[in-house]
Amino acid sequence: MRRIAGIVLAVLLIGGVVAAVVAGRDTGDTSTATKTVRGVIGSEKAEFFADPEVVKALAAEGYTVKTETSGSWAMDGLDLKGYDFAFPSSKAPADELAEKYRVREPLPRPFYSPLVVVAHRGAAEVLSRNGLATLDKDRGVLDMEAYLKAAEAGRTWQQLKGAEKYGELSGLLYIATTDPTSSSSGALYLAAASNVANDGRVVANEADIKRTAPLLHELISVQGAQQPSSDAAFRDFVSGVGNPLVLVYESQVAALLADGQKVDDLVVLYPDTTVNSDHTVVPVTDEGRALGELLGTDPELRRLAARHGFRPQGSAKEFTAATAGLTTYLTPRLTVRQAPVPTSEVLHEMARRARGR
């Protein structure tokens, strides 16, 4: 009897070990990781941090990363106590957070992404026919000065030559963006537009703000309700909902295409005056800083960032390799003008007035 009980106990113990191993596999066991770091990130980076290969690469370097998403500008209203880092989509909100939490410079900036406008083929061809864009296969360049003049004049799609062929092109001509008071992409859109409206100079004082405010208000007010994040806006576009012109990050388009997904009649327009979104880590702890630096230096993490559409800082080889089959849509080497971004204080005021506050 004791022998039978011993055998049963042994079987149960072995079963328990097997169950523990299986449970570890099912939950993505990261037993090699030695440090858990927590961060608040922009929604456009959520899929990157959730990628099993990224999780594995981080674990190999001793990290388990747990994240929550937030609009980049909205991060300023969060209490980062208990977090190791914040990871907004651009430098301006990062600088504001760094000042608030007295974080030493320089801040890690592992990768970046330019702003682009996604359009359906019909809309892109109408813009091209009316001198607002030039096209080359599935990509093109948006003439920002011409577009802003059309928007300022209140032009409608029906007033543009060739628009009558497309029933979905009606109403005011505008680019749909995120809320500039809470989302980085919306705020950076104002930075680029204001630079063009201010004769190629960065908006730097009250006179500049006052000069450009009416146009920026027009660009935002015609949109009505705005999405809180570029991720939601891009998903709406992909599903065929909403405006025919939507401002997103190039990384979102590149990641979707690299994953083999198709978007019917997609055209990617690079504004001829744009702003690069420098994804900047604000390290609240030493672990957060070490992680931020690792994202920019580890070869495997740089490769994976490029696969998710981001452009790693420095060498362009990872992005070029990741998008080698996508050049009908994407421009590996950027030739458009990069506008400087106003200070966070000025950008906040521009966004506030653009929203009519």
Q: Are residues 141 and 122 in the same domain?
A: yes
Q: Give percent helix, percent strand, percent coil of the chain, each to the nearest 5.
A: 45, 20, 35
Strands 266-271 and 139-142: parallel
Structure tokens at 333: 């080497």
Q: Are residues 224 and 248 in the same domain?
A: yes
Q: Are residues 292 and 270 in the same domain?
A: no
Structure tokens at 5: 């009980």
- The CA distance from 179 to 355, in Å, is 8
Q: Are residues 203 and 223 in the same domain?
A: yes
Residue 268 lies in a domain: yes
Predicted model pTM: 0.86
- The CA distance from 252 to 159, in Å, is 31
Q: What is the CATH number of the domain that holds 67?
A: 3.40.190.10
Residue type for 46, please? A
Give the DSSP letter of residue 101.
T
Q: Where are the beta strands (DSSP E) in the chain?
A: 35-41, 63-69, 85-87, 111-120, 133-136, 139-142, 245-249, 266-271, 273-274, 276-279, 282-283, 311-312, 337-338
Q: Are residues 306 and 273 in the same domain?
A: no
Q: Are residues 139 and 236 in the same domain?
A: yes
Q: Are residues 69 and 91 in the same domain?
A: yes
Residue 163 lies in a domain: yes
Structure tokens at 177: 């963006």
Q: Are residues 272 and 288 in the same domain?
A: no
Q: Which domain holds residue 141?
A: 113-277+331-354
Residue 227 lies in a domain: yes
Residue 14 lies in a domain: no
Which of 89, 109, 35, 47 shows the shortest CA–CA distance to 292? 109
Q: Are residues 246 and 272 in the same domain?
A: yes
Which of 97, 103, 104, 37 shows the shortest CA–CA distance to 70? 97
The pLDDT of residue 20 is: 32
Instruction: Supply φ then ψ for residue 345, to 5 degrees.
Output: -65, -45
- Structural domains in the chain (count): 2
Full pLDDT tens readout for the chain, 357 residues: 434 344 333 433 333 333 333 333 333 444 454 799 999 998 889 999 999 999 999 999 999 999 999 988 889 899 999 999 999 988 989 999 999 999 999 999 999 999 999 999 999 999 999 999 999 989 999 999 999 999 999 999 999 999 999 988 999 999 999 999 988 899 999 999 999 999 999 999 999 999 999 999 999 999 988 988 888 889 889 988 879 999 999 999 999 999 888 887 999 999 999 998 999 999 999 999 999 999 999 999 999 999 999 999 988 899 999 999 999 999 988 889 999 999 989 999 999 999 987
The pLDDT of residue 10 is: 41
Residue 8 lies in a domain: no
Residues 6+ apart with CB under 8 A from 277: 89, 90, 112, 113, 114, 115, 184, 185, 188, 249
Q: Are residues 345 and 304 in the same domain?
A: no
Q: Are residues 68 and 168 in the same domain?
A: no
Structure tokens at 120: 């359906």
Residue 136 lies in a domain: yes
Residues 6+ apart with CB under 8 A from 16: none
């991720």: which residue's tokens? 231
Q: Are residues 205 and 251 in the same domain?
A: yes
């950076």: which residue's tokens? 188
- The CA distance from 113 to 353, in Å, is 26
Burial class (CB in 10 A: 0-12, 13-18, 19+), 222: middle
- The CA distance from 341 to 246, in Å, is 21
Residue 170 lies in a domain: yes
**Three-state secondary-structure class, residue 248:** strand
Q: Which CB contacts under 8 angstroms, 24+ apart, belong to 53-58? A: 53/304, 54/301, 54/304, 55/28, 55/30, 57/298, 57/300, 57/301, 57/304, 58/33, 58/291, 58/294, 58/301
Residue 240 lies in a domain: yes
Instruction: Supply φ then ψ for residue 38, to 5 degrees.
Output: -115, 140
